Structure 1
């Protein structure tokens, strides 16, 4: 394609690849909003659902834990479930990013965006 232009041809190729990467990253970001993960605590008494972007979308609490004397325990279980969901969301996002970079021939572990 731009053989007679030397390094300018390389630059055009790099720009094209960068544009492809930008498009794929935008698609991945959209996909992360549609992927859900579920975190739990208290052996499943509290579950939190979040998107792979970390947005909390659901919370399910088993009614058996509602004891007025155990308020702090319930709060801790809720926080633990939310934290678990957010940790899983971050791991899923990292996994999706790794797939994207490997699919484009970029080095494993490369942090994007720059």
Structure 2
């Protein structure tokens, strides 16, 4: 009578998987937003903290660096600390997304979020 509709169960399973994936992705995105990652330069004389999305949150500069002749070196260290923190934040965000996608049949090397 309802011949041809036998695959509806498969479709329902697929939809349930999609909703499960969506929930996992939302959790992963919330975890990424809550991340705060530290980067440093100059053996810790300059430190920068960024969010999981790479947004600069805090900056700490050791007071011994405040010598007028060293201004350019300090600026370089600040940039290096921020860059390190942003790279670490990107790695941490990717790891969170990978955890959310664990067990899903995604193509190799596919990066999340899409």
* TM-score, structure 1 as length reference: 0.85
Match in the other structure for 2:96: 96
Distance 2:69 2:113 in 1: 48
- Matched residues, number: 110
Distance 1:8 1:110 in 2: 29
Match in the other structure for 2:23: 23
Answer whether contact 1:101 1:110 (CA < 8 A) is retained.
Answer: no
Higher RCO (Cα < 8 Å, 6 or more apart): 2
Q: Deviation of residue 60 (structure 1)?
A: 0.5
Answer whether contact 1:35 1:51 (CA < 8 A) is retained.
Answer: yes
| DSSP-derived class of the 1:59 partner | strand
Answer whether contact 2:41 2:47 (CA < 8 A) is retained.
Answer: yes
**Pairing 1:42–2:38 present:** no
Match in the other structure for 1:69: 69
| DSSP-derived class of the 1:53 partner | coil
Q: Deviation of residue 19 (structure 1)?
A: 1.5
Q: Deviation of residue 34 (structure 1)?
A: 1.4
Match in the other structure for 1:55: 55
Structure 2 unmatched ranges of 5 or more: none
C-alpha RMSD of matched pairs (Å) = 1.8
The structure where helix makes up a greater share of residues is: 1
* TM-score, structure 2 as length reference: 0.85
